[in-house]
């Protein structure tokens, strides 16, 4: 419980150093610092850290933003897929349907060999191959066009 209080006071100290603490928080901080040496040490260490930063220059290269954007654009152009995402999904769906059609045509001749009725083979094909394939296709389709999901392409 005491540790939570110190964490709260340390947070108020940080806000105070940034100048964003409310008047009530400032008053609470002053009252607490009168009795707590750990929080006084934290405040002193924070002041030393801020004073130590005074000798450093934080000037940033003005062309850095343009360099970063150019690098990101170049990387994006280098990592583009061979086929657009839509075409690859469409090809996967067509191949799934073509394979399913071929297997359904072979169900008739395979039924006597497997001692299973052809209807059961076709039902298994639908249940375990066609329906999951179409569901995955629709899932990927929904994920790629859902709002707020920029850049998501599976």
pLDDT tens digits, 63-94? 766 776 777 677 666 555 555 667 777 777 78
pTM of the model: 0.36
Write out residues in the chain with pLDDT < 70, as ranges. 1-3, 52-62, 64-65, 68, 72, 75-85, 144-154
Q: Which of 90, 103, 106, 108 is nearest to 130 (CA)?
A: 103
Same domain, 86 and 50: no
In a domain, 69, yes or no: no
Q: What pLDDT is attached to residue 122?
A: 78
Going by C-alpha positions, the residue among 62, 101, 86 that lies closest to residue 141 is 86
pLDDT number for residue 38: 86
Residue 152, pLDDT score? 45
- Say if 97 falls within a structural domain: yes
Q: How many domains does the chain have?
A: 2
- Residue for token pair 């110190």: 6
On whether residue 6 sits in a domain, the answer given is: yes
60 lies in some domain: no
> d(Cα 20, Cα 12) in Å, to the nearest integer?
9
Q: Is residue 70 part of a domain?
A: no
DSSP string, 4-36: HHHHHHHHHHHHHHHT---HHHHHHHHHHHTT-
pLDDT for position 151? 47
Give the model's pLDDT for residue 75: 65
Full domain range(s) for residue 89: 81-145
């Amino acid at each position: 419980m005491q540790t939570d209080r110190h964490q709260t006071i340390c947070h108020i100290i940080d806000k105070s150093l940034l100048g964003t603490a409310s008047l009530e928080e400032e008053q609470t901080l002053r009252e607490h610092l009168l009795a707590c040496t750990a929080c006084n040490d934290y405040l002193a260490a924070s002041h030393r850290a801020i004073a130590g930063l005074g000798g450093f220059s934080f000037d940033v290269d003005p062309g850095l933003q343009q360099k970063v954007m150019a690098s990101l654009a170049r990387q994006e152009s280098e990592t583009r897929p061979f086929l657009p995402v839509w075409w690859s999904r469409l090809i996967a769906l067509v191949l799934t349907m073509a394979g399913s059609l071929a297997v359904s045509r072979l169900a008739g001749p395979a039924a006597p060999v497997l001692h299973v009725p052809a209807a059961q083979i076709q039902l298994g094909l639908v249940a375990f191959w066609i329906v999951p394939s179409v569901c995955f296709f629709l899932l990927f389709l929904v994920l790629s066009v859902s709002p707020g999901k920029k850049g998501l392409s599976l």
